[in-house]
Amino acid sequence: MTDEQKQFEDLEQRLHGRKTEYDAIIVPDAAVQQSVQTGIRQAARRRKSRVRWYMSSISAAAIILLFTGCIRVSPAFASFVEQWPGMEGIVSMIRQDKGLQMAIDQSLLQKVGITDEHDGASVTIDGIITDESRMVIFYTMKGMKDPEKGEYDIDLLDGNGKNLPVGFSYGSPRPTSDENVYENMIDVVFTNEATPPDELSVVFKTRGKANPGEWKVTLPVDKNLTKGMKRVLPVNQTLTVDGQRIDVKQATLYPTRLVLDVTFDPKNTKKVFGLSDLQLVDEQGRAWRTDTTMGGDGERSIYFESMYFSIPKKLTLQGSGLSGLDKDELDLSLDLESGNITGGPPTMKFMGSQIAGKNRILMFSVPDMEGGFTLAFTEIKDAAGKTYEAPTSSWRTEDGDSTGITTVHSTVENGAKIKGHLQMKLSTYPMKIKAPFSLEIPLDN
């Protein structure tokens, strides 16, 4: 065995060890927090235990991160870790993304190493990977107070100090093998023609008033590393899933992801919330999985792992069906006093409401949401025609529960004084329809 082979085997053993450590961690309430930013912050919290609580931010742009994969790493990827001692935890997260691994293999990682330190605590931006579609920011925290509890908010600013018009997600920092040192990454999606800034500021702010603090790291963004690295693959084919027409327009390849653009026929009888269990499969049977979906009612951009540096000979889009609801079931009327619902899906039941400060929490019983969409509303009006927003929903699913029912709490902002009837319009609902499909994506290799 050569020294180089031994180095890689040692690294893989360390990664396996870190994975075992993470699996053994007992995560307290709100320990994993993901925040989606589309101009206004909306937050998501998850708890890992026998009873799992979910907090979901609902908007036209939904960001969903999925992590699956294997432990094997390439020599270049191993070299990346060796240059940054202690970053095995970050590797254990991104090793599942074949596109990011290959981007690192191609030396597209911009090393940063800039730190803001005060009051005995510091934040370091270790490095970034970016192209026209996505940016991944790696960071390390030292000396912070309980960072794993998710009590930190993050802002991304351009060179003028303005919030970037992007969507991004992040999880609570993970502990490393070093005492009081944590690490994680921020995953950024460029939308609405937004592009990477020339200068980026990453701001970490504590939420609690008891120990206020702010750390700001400003860095230049080297856009030349991926300049011109974009490939458009026209598709222009139509899928029919459960009678619903879905036009697949094109696939755009970037170093960090593949973007598949689809539109939904306005004549469809259902509002399609999303396609289920999507993956791209190549001629070798390798699956390139989706991690993010963004867009509005009529069109979507679906993001997959990138195969930019490993173009397959054949590529097939596969899925198990869709999540959707008949359009005539999207509108409903709720009588707060009697609890009666008129219209809406028949599987939706009202379970009561409660006051929380200035807000009102509406409770509903809906089908099991494991692996599907949540219950959310785009519009709520009272009897006087006043409009309210319900930007967040939470739900509880207990392990081993076989009832197939989930209770959802939807928070109506400033709705404490609402009385009488409410007119409501659903934006998403946990209704999954099995209808397997496949579509070959043309490649001009």
Domain 232-324+435-441 has CATH 2.60.40: yes
Separation of alpha carbons 149 and 274, rounded Å: 31
Give the model confidence (pLDDT) of 283-340 as tens digits: 999 999 886 777 777 889 999 999 999 889 899 999 999 999 999 999 999 999 999 9
pLDDT score, position 297: 75
CATH architecture designation of domain 3-30+65-226: Sandwich (2.60)
Q: Measure the N-to-C terminal CA separation of the chain; round to a whole number of Å.
A: 38
pLDDT score, position 289: 85
H or E element in which residue 16 lies: helix 3-24
Strand, helix or coil for residue 48: coil
Which amino acid is residue 238, in one-letter code? T
What is the phi/psi pair of residue 190, to 5°?
A: -90, 120
pLDDT score, position 9: 55
CA nearest to 99, candidates 125, 126, 127, 77: 77
Structure tokens at 248: 């697949």
Write out the chain's pLDDT in tens, 445 residues: 555 455 445 545 554 444 444 333 333 333 222 333 332 233 232 222 222 222 333 333 333 332 223 334 555 555 555 555 545 555 666 767 888 888 888 888 898 999 999 989 999 999 999 999 999 999 999 998 777 776 788 999 999 999 999 988 888 888 888 888 888 899 999 977 789 999 999 999 988 776 778 999 999 999 999 999 999 999 999 999 999 999 999 999 999 999 999 999 999 999 999 898 999 999 999 999 886 777 777 889 999 999 999 889 899 999 999 999 999 999 999 999 999 999 999 999 999 999 999 999 999 999 876 556 788 998 899 999 999 999 877 876 554 455 678 889 999 999 999 999 999 999 989 888 999 999 999 887 5
Give the model confidence (pLDDT) of 11-37 as tens digits: 455 544 444 443 333 333 332 223 333
Q: Where are the domains of the chain?
A: 3-30+65-226, 232-324+435-441, 328-432
Sequence-distant (≥ 6) Cβ neighbours of residue 73 within 8 angstroms: 8, 11, 12, 15, 81, 91, 95, 101
DSSP percent split of the chain into helix, strand, coil, nearest 5: 15, 50, 40
Distance from the Cα of residue 294 to its chain's centroid: 10
pTM of the predicted protein model? 0.75
pLDDT score, position 203: 97
CA nearest to 62, candidates 195, 167, 187: 167
Contacts of residues 87-91 at CB distance under 8 Å and 24 or more positions apart, as own/partner, are 87/126, 87/138, 87/140, 87/183, 88/11, 88/14, 88/15, 88/18, 88/176, 88/177, 89/18, 89/22, 89/174, 89/175, 89/176, 89/183, 90/126, 90/138, 90/183, 90/184, 90/185, 91/15
